[in-house]
């Protein structure tokens, strides 16, 4: 085969052999059942064939048009963050036995995968202070929606779900989609000053409330009074669902310490690359009493007849494994490779490493906010924040971000996209990767626009 066509799997001789085996004379005969009137006729408008070398160069040129965090300084967050990923994470997740392994439908022969899931669950419990965690969810949004669903299952007759407008807008949209089937009643409490007003939330809950969902830090990056919000939920017998940034738990109190019944969140910051939007990693943890209500899978450890340690799929509360009317979810899989990345990341960083990352985010974000305010971009909200904060701009935010891109800086998220009343605000994220020089560049460039 020539160099020009060597990456095509089938030669003309291969095709002839396949047609002979099928008893056909041409490829066209394969499509004899397709009506003539709907068949494409003529020649497709495609460029000339390329050699492998030419194709690799062409695709590389196309990829270079993307603005990535490798070539740009990123201050964009809003749910996905440019955190540092130790090289060991990619080395281990890139091993063939992990990278190509499929979901463990035959768990007894998938010991390595099951062990990695078991270790992941253990680490999530240690991080969040909860008693049990599942094998992972699709992302943070679906994890939050699943928490609302199982709360209504666990508390029969309760159909109301209360949450703040400071919950991530896309999580709220996912929640609305999930709520249609079981006909949950959703009640949104407007945020005040960038945080959830506890008094307003107390007025919103009653004995029909299944759960209260609060985010920490919330979408605006502000720190919520999670203990007070949890008390308001528990006062009416409802579950309290904490949606948390796992990196923040290096400095903030874990949900298990302020009485959360369910803890969910987006695990992308734990060693999972931004990847143009996914796949990401949803984590889901709960108190022990909700173990059998949890969606997805739970891997466990046991001992066989010979006394050897082994790993098994302990629970699978989905309709493929139990009676449909008792299934709490239709989640059929988990993000095993992303969960492995989180496992390697957490083991590599350790308790001290996670704390250091969180402290760097906290301090660098505080420095950036201080410098931006001095440059004429005051904070939108006065509430304390972790690694993300909103600033007001007298200059249209679209113009600000366009100017930053010219200087190879990815600016903040325009809050007007989700909150029309905040059309003059940008949500700025500062992770441990940002240097003082990069923050000063951001401030200087934005200051020039005043």
d(CA 246, CA 123): 11
- Phi/psi at 174 (nearest 5 deg)? -65, -40
Domain extents for the chain? Answer: 73-85+351-447, 87-345
Q: What sections of 181-330 are H helices per DSSP?
A: 198-204, 226-235
Cβ atoms of residues 418 and 346 within 8 Å: no
pLDDT band at 332 (very low <50, low <70, confident <90, very high): low
Task: Indicate the pLDDT class of residue 108, thresholds 50, 70 and 90.
Answer: low
Cα dihedral 390/394/165/199 (nearest 10): 90
Written as six digits, the tokens of 234 are: 């528990």
What pLDDT shows up at residue 312?
87
**Rg from Cα positions in the chain:** 26
The residues near 417 (Cβ < 8 Å, ≥ 6 apart) are none
Partner residues linked to 285 by β-bridges: 133, 263
pLDDT, mean of residues 137-166: 96
What is the reported pLDDT for 12? Answer: 87
Q: What is the pLDDT of residues 14-39, one digit of tens each?
A: 989 999 999 999 988 988 899 989 98
Q: What is the DSSP letter of 271?
A: T
User: Each residue of 264-293: pLDDT tens digit?
Assistant: 999 999 999 998 888 899 999 999 999 988
pLDDT per position as a tens digit, 191-248? 999 999 999 999 999 999 999 999 999 999 999 999 999 999 999 999 999 999 999 9
Architecture of the domain delimited by 73-85+351-447: Alpha-Beta Complex (3.90)
| Longest pairwise C-alpha distance within the chain | 79
Is there a common fold for 73-85+351-447 and 87-345?
no
Mean pLDDT of 173-181: 95
- Domain 87-345 matching CATH 3.30.565.60: the answer reads no
- Tens digit of pLDDT for each residue in 26-72? 988 988 899 989 988 888 888 888 888 999 999 999 998 988 999 99
CA distances from 180 to 145, 154, 168, 185 (A): 11, 18, 19, 9
Return d(Cα 280, Cα 5) in angstroms, integer: 36
Cα separation, 115 vs 410, whole angstroms? 39
Contacts of 58-62 with CB under 8 Å at 24 or more apart are none
Separation CA 77–CA 62 (nearest Å): 25
pLDDT for 313 beyond 90: no
Residue 3 has pLDDT above 50, yes or no: no
| Integer Cα distance of 412 and 400 in angstroms | 9
Q: What is the pTM of this model?
A: 0.88
What's the count of helices (H) and strands (E) in the chain, helices before strands? 12, 14
Strands (DSSP E) contained in 21-159 are: 73-74, 132-133
Q: Two tokens at 15?
A: 């095709």
């Amino acid at each position: 085969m020539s160099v020009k066509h060597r990456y095509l799997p089938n030669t003309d001789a291969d095709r002839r052999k396949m047609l002979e085996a099928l008893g056909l004379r041409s490829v066209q005969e394969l499509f004899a059942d397709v009506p003539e009137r709907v068949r494409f006729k003529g020649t497709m408008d495609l460029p000339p064939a390329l050699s492998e070398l030419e194709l690799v160069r062409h695709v590389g040129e196309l990829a270079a048009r993307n603005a990535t965090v490798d070539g740009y300084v990123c201050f964009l967050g809003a749910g996905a963050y440019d955190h540092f990923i130790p090289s060991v994470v990619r080395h281990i997740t890139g091993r063939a036995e992990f990278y190509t392994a499929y979901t463990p439908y035959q768990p007894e022969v998938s010991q390595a995968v099951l062990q990695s899931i078991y270790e992941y669950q253990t680490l999530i419990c240690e991080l969040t202070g909860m008693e049990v965690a599942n094998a992972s969810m699709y992302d943070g949004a679906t994890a939050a929606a699943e928490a609302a669903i199982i709360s209504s299952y666990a508390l029969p007759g309760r159909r109301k779900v209360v949450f703040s407008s400071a919950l991530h807008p896309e999580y709220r949209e996912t929640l609305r989609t999930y709520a249609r089937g079981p006909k949950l009643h959703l009640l949104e409490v407007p945020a005040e000053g960038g945080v959830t007003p506890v008094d307003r939330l107390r007025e919103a809950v009653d004995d029909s409330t299944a759960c209260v969902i609060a985010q920490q830090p919330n979408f605006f990056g502000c720190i919520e009074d999670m203990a007070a919000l949890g008390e308001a939920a528990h006062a009416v017998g409802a579950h309290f669902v904490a949606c948390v940034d796992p990196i923040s738990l290096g400095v903030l109190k874990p949900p298990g310490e302020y009485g959360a019944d369910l803890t969910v969140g987006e695990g992308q910051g734990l060693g999972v690359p931004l990847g143009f939007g996914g796949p990401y990693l949803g984590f889901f943890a709960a108190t022990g009493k909700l173990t059998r209500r949890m969606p997805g899978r739970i891997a466990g450890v046991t001992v066989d007849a010979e006394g050897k340690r082994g790993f098994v799929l302990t629970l699978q509360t989905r309709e493929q494994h139990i009676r449909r009317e008792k299934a709490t979810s239709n989640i059929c899989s988990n993000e095993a490779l992303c969960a492995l990345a989180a496992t390697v990341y957490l083991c590599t960083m350790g308790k001290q490493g996670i704390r250091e990352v969180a402290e760097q985010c906290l301090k660098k974000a505080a420095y950036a906010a201080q410098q931006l305010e001095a440059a004429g971009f005051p904070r939108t909200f006065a509430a304390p924040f972790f690694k993300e904060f909103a600033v007001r701009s007298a200059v249209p935010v679209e113009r600000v971000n366009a100017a930053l891109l010219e200087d190879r800086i990815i600016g903040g998220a325009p809050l007007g996209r989700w909150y029309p009343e905040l059309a003059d605000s940008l949500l700025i994220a500062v992770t441990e990767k940002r240097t003082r020089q990069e923050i000063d560049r951001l401030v200087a460039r934005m200051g020039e626009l005043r």
